[in-house]
Amino acid sequence: MKKILLILIFQNFALGRGFSQSITIDDLLSLPSLSQNSMDHFMNKIGFSSRKARLEDNLMMTSYVEKNKVKKKDSITKRSVDLYKKDNARYFALRTSSLNEYMDGQRQLIKAGFFYDNKKDTSKPTPILFQKKNITVETKYSVEDSIPQYIFLLQKKELPGPAEIQYAEDLLKFNSHEYLVSYFGEKNVKKDLYYFSEKELKKCSVLFGNSTRQVVFVWNDEDNLHDLSFILISNIIPTASAAKFDKILPNNEWMLKNGIHAGMSLIELLKLNGKDFEFYGNQSELAFMVKPQDGGKIDFKKTAITLSCSNCNNNRLFNTSTLAALDIAGESLPVYVYHIIISPEAK
């Protein structure tokens, strides 16, 4: 009986060592920092052989496949690692046919401090997006040739240089809260709530809150604070934290490449556009928003602008559905750019 127990203990130990000597999540996270030569040496050391690079979907891809160490091929776990580069990011895909390794890998990512949607059930093979600064790991499942494929797709994005972040449009490259943090630092990027309407709140991130460089980032994926929907630039931002801020800020310093900035007068906006345009009046639910139109130098379909007027609440000129900017400019009223909204499609 004791002999059988010892054999079982040894077998369990050997199985555990098999994966630890192969590749772990820690190994996967270290791959982006290795040069190609160092990576070849490292992968060979942990039991992987490299294939020749191949072209797949217009991407040059290199694959590493685990060397078979036993004769019964159907009884072993199959593992491989693919790597490629796309745009400004490097990708590393770890594939395993072991559900236990997949589940254990997710637990390791949580232990390593990766941000994820904690409403997800990690006791099941659920696809989850893990994020930590400029690294994301997407876990997913598929079946190839009747063999289950549990995948850890790591993406490491390059950080832009200081010269690349000069205008408001440059901020559109930050497609997640964690990526913002990786560039601007945790103290400058805070999670917040955006007043999408009087009754609807959306999770957002605020860069340089309560300052002359404040920007609101609103996400399509609120659970993961990921996939940028749009950014909003204004002297006064509609967020929960800003509602508690009672100081008056000077004009926001962020400027669009075409020269638009918060606080710009209506006359300046007209000169910049080089043509008259319309905006909604008080009889519209979109009061003071410039109508989505083009024809001038500014494409208001891509750049959403809301205007404001100081001490104009009782002015009857605004009690209509739409107004011509030239007509209002002729009245010398203090109308200025209040909110600027741009989305990734505006790049």
Q: Between 324 and 6, name the one with better pLDDT.
A: 324
Greater confidence (13 vs 256) lies with 256
Q: Looking at residue 94, what is its pLDDT?
A: 96
Going by pLDDT thresholds of 50, 70 and 90, the confidence category of residue 22 is: low
For residue range 123-147, list pLDDT tens digits in order.
888 899 999 999 999 999 988 888 8
**Which pLDDT value is given to residue 75?**
53
Ranges of each domain in the chain? 2-157, 162-346
| Rounded Cα–Cα distance for residues 284 and 311 (Å) | 19
| Average pLDDT estimate for 84-108 | 93
Average per-residue pLDDT in the chain? 89
Under the banding of pLDDT at 50, 70 and 90, the label for residue 14 is very low
Average pLDDT over residues 201-205: 96
Share of the chain above pLDDT 70, in %: 91
Class of residue 62 by CB neighbours under 10 A (exposed 0-12, middle 13-18, buried 19+): middle
Give the chain's end-to-end CA distance (angstroms, integer): 71
Contact yes or no for 300/290 (Cβ under 8 A): yes
CB neighbours of residue 304 within 10 Å? 18
Position 200 pLDDT exceeds 60: yes
Q: Is the pLDDT of residue 78 over 90?
A: no
Report the predicted TM-score, pTM, of the whole model to 2 decimal places.
0.87
* Three-state DSSP class for residue 245: coil
Q: Per-residue pLDDT for 222 more than 60?
A: yes
pLDDT at residue 344 is higher than 50: yes
Sheet holding 189-195, edge to edge: 189-195, 201-207, 215-221, 226-234, 335-342, 303-309
Q: Is the pLDDT of residue 88 over 70?
A: yes
| 3-state DSSP assignment of residue 122 | coil
CB 127 within 8 A of CB 139: yes
Check whether 11 has a pLDDT greater than 50.
Answer: no
Predicted local distance difference test score (pLDDT) of residue 295: 84
What is the rounded average pLDDT of the residues 153-168? 96
Instruction: Please report the pLDDT score of residue 19 as a whole number.
Output: 39
Please tell me the predicted confidence (pLDDT) of residue 288. 96
Q: Tell me the three state secondary structure of residue 72.
A: coil
Q: What band does 70 get if pLDDT is binned at 50, 70 and 90?
A: low
Looking at residue 347, what is its pLDDT?
Answer: 57
Q: Which of 72-81, 156-165, 294-303, 328-337 has the lowest mean pLDDT?
A: 72-81
Determine the Cα–Cα distance for residues 294 and 83; give it in Å rounded to an integer.
Answer: 43
The larger pLDDT score, comparing residue 2 to residue 270, is at: 270
pLDDT(148) > 90? no
Residue 230's SS3 state is strand
Q: How does pLDDT run across 283-322, given as a tens digit for each residue?
A: 999 999 999 998 899 999 999 999 999 888 778 899 999 9
Q: Please write down the HEC assignment for all residues of 264-308.
A: CEHHHHHHHHCCCCEEECCCCCCCCEECCCCCCCCCCCCEEEEEE
Find the mean pLDDT for residues 157-164.
95
